[in-house]
Amino acid sequence: MPLSFATDIRPLFRDDPDVETMMSIGIDLSSYAHVKAKAKLILSRLEDGTMPCDGPWPNERIALFKQWITEGMQA
């Protein structure tokens, strides 16, 4: 089974500060459609370690997000 946004990806984002802060910057990390549309930009910031602002994700988490993209970004 491919990874899904609801089950595998959404829980990676903290309601606060991830969703809360990024909402005010124009990216809704709680929205499947929005994360799908911005996936490349999000991945680039996860990979360069500049997001989240309070500490980069471990590689396994980034790999999971990448896998979700590769598998076609299921809801």
Distance CA 38, CA 75 (A): 14
Residues 4-63 close enough to bind ligand HEM by CB under 6 A? 13, 17-18, 21-22, 25, 27, 41-42, 45-46, 50-54
Torsion of CA 53, 7, 47, 43, to 10 degrees: -100
Nearest residue to ligand HEM, scored by beta-carbon proximity: 53
Contact 47, 24 (CB under 8 A): no
CB of 22 or CB of 68, closer to ligand HEM: 22
Nearest CB to ligand HEM, comparing residues 55 and 72: 55
